[in-house]
Amino acid sequence: MSVRSYGVLSTYSPTQCGLAAFTGAFVDALTGPGEIGVVPVDFGRRPTVGVVAVVDSSDPTPPPEVAHQWERSDRRGAAAAATALNRFDIAIVQHEFGVYSGRDGIDVLETVRALRVPTIVVLHTVPVTPTPQQRTILEQLTRNCAAVVTTTNTARRRLIDHYPVDPTMVRVIPHGATDNRSGQPGDQHQPISRTPVILTWGLLGEGKGIEWGIDAMAHIADLRPAAHYRVVGQTHPKVLARHGESYRTGLRDRAQRRGVTNAVHFDARYLADVELYRLIRQADVVLLPYDSRERVTSRVLSEAIAAGKPVISTAFPHAEELLSTGAGLLVDRESPTDIAAALRRVFTEPGLAARMRAEAKRIAPELLWTSVGRRYRDLAAETLRTDTKLATA
């Protein structure tokens, strides 16, 4: 039995957040033609996808794929979201704490309990030490869904080890990435004879660890040619609403105190994909200096590997898995000296950068949205066939 229609519950464009960006690419992957040589189950007829978008206030002109908008302030919003999702063959719930209304986003449970179609939940965060309410939410979500997806093996192990979930329900499907592997300027390796470019991108806010990258630049100021560190991305809208640009201002002040103002460049734009991928291709190294120990996955990491870029990252689970075969180097959290030592190796150790690029390109195919979309379509078809949605607990 093929899936003719998908209902996807998540934040969505024009909302600017990591989950909305993921869902935009996810929707394209569900409706796309898939990998070359793979014949669609329905012989070319693409399924329809309707997004139930979680919003602070309704958009009068939402994207055409948005079938319904759930305003967080609407007391009847959770029930209305379920009604909208029940019009599709299958529901896919993107879950991140705090996305939905109620403390820790607990109102998503009302929606899931009211669903009458087979449901898949995608868990973007699986904390080892959840609050009691976070534990309740994850336990109820997994109990009321037919299948559970995590984006890393680490997240799957966490879920099975720390929560009462049937291991056979839990699948690992990686975070998708855009195909930027070949045919683009800067794809071929060139000896670093120009200014080396270190790139960090994404919505800015506390916990991204940019300060440690800035400090590291002071430790490699002696390198010739001198490296430049590009920090690209606007401040997260929620951070901006609460604290303004204080974090970015603090980073600029830090660069000045460290004497690296000329080596650290901020670009406060939220870039369209085409421009962002051009910047990624121009980078020599992608740096992920995140502070969080709970972060399970990262779109930035997936996109960097898919583009064939060497990565230096703190050791969060997604990085430990993807970089374990040599596509990048892991460093300690909050350690400018570790970051600097890793950068120095990439820029000066003969052959290292080339080996990292080669390994990134080797593992990239399984991360591409074409592959990821196929795996979700296969799981959805299996779920619809078996119709294993559990009764409401």
55, two tokens: 């919003």
pLDDT band at residue 390, thresholds of 50, 70 and 90? Answer: very low
Rounded to the nearest 10 degrees, what angle do helices 336-348 and 352-363 cross at? 100
pLDDT at position 386? 85
Nearest to 331 by CA among 321, 322, 323, 342: 342
Q: Provide the pLDDT for residue 37.
A: 34
Phi, psi of 238 (to 5 degrees): -70, -35
Structure-block tokens of residue 375: 């795996």
Q: What's the pLDDT band for 207 if we cut at 50, 70, 90?
A: confident
User: Is pLDDT of 44 > 70?
Assistant: no
Give the best-scoring range by mean pLDDT among 83-87, 184-188, 290-294.
83-87
Per-residue pLDDT, 147: 96
**pLDDT over threshold 70, residue 295:** no
Question: How far is residue 255's CA from residue 251's CA, in Å, rounded to a whole number?
Answer: 6
| pLDDT of residue 331 exceeding 70 | yes
Check residue 35 and give its pLDDT: 41
β-pairing, 285-288 with 197-201? parallel
Fold: same for 5-176+368-386 and 197-367 = yes
Reply yes or no on whether the pLDDT at 172 is more than 90: yes
- 186-196 pLDDT, tens digit per residue, is 444 444 447 89
pLDDT for the residue numbered 1? 65
Confidence grade of residue 42 (pLDDT, cut at 50, 70, 90): very low
The β-bridge partners of 229 are 198, 264
DSSP state letters, 365-391? GGGBHHHHHHHHHHHHHHHHHHT-PPP
Asked: is 197-367 a CATH 3.40.50.1980 domain? The reply is no
pLDDT per residue as tens digits for the range 251-290: 999 999 999 999 999 998 877 777 888 888 889 999 999 9
Q: What is the pLDDT of residue 236?
A: 82
Average confidence (pLDDT) over 354-370: 94
When comparing pLDDT for 2 and 141, which is higher?
141
Above 80 in pLDDT, residue 130?
yes
Give the residue extent of every domain in the chain.
5-176+368-386, 197-367
User: Tokens 């570790």 — which residue?
Assistant: 338
Question: At CA 335, angle to CA 332 and CA 336, rounded to 5?
Answer: 135
CATH number of 5-176+368-386: 3.40.50.2000
pLDDT band at residue 45 under the 50/70/90 scheme: low
Q: What's the pLDDT at 362?
A: 94
Exposure b/e, 323-357, CB count within 10 A at least 16 = b: beeebbbbbeeebbebbbbbbbebbeeeeebeebb
pLDDT at 189: 46
CA atoms of 33 and 140, how far apart (whole Å): 34
In the predicted structure, residue 392 carries a pLDDT above the cut 50: no
Q: Give CA–CA dist 345/340, Å, rounded.
A: 9
> Can you give the pLDDT at residue 243?
85
106-116, pLDDT tens digit by residue? 999 999 999 99
CA distance 350 to 19: 39
More confident residue, 241 or 379: 379
10 Å Cβ neighbour count for 250? 13
Of 181 and 160, more confident: 160
5-10 and 48-55: which strand pairing? parallel
pLDDT tier for residue 33 given thresholds of 50, 70 and 90: low
Report in angstroms the alpha-carbon separations of 23 from 29, 228, 348: 10, 32, 39
Distances (CA, A) of 321 to 29, 296, 300: 23, 10, 14
C-alpha dihedral (366, 20, 276, 217), degrees to nearest 10? -90
Longest dimension (CA), the chain: 64
Query: Do 124 and 94 form a contact (C-beta atoms < 8 A)?
Result: yes
Rounded percentage of the chain residues whose pLDDT exceeds 90: 71
**Mean pLDDT of all residues belonging to the chain:** 88
pTM for this entry = 0.85
Provide the residue type at 17 as one letter: C
- Residue 389 confidence (pLDDT) above 60: no
> Residue 31 is inside which H or E element, if any?
helix 18-31
Percent of the chain exceeding pLDDT 70 equals: 90
pLDDT at 273: 73
- Specify the pLDDT at position 204: 85
Instruction: Determine whether 43 is exposed, middle or buried from the number of CB atoms within 10 Å of its CB (0-12, 13-18, 19+).
Output: exposed
The stretch 309-336 carries a mean pLDDT of 93
The 3-state secondary structure of 244-303, one letter per residue: CCHHHHHHHHHHHHHCCHHHEEEECCCCCHHHHHHHHHHCCEEEECCCCCCCCCCHHHHH
Q: For residue 272, with 0-12 CB atoms within 10 Å meaning exposed, 13-18 middle and 19 or more buried, which class applies?
A: exposed
CA distance 187 to 85: 42
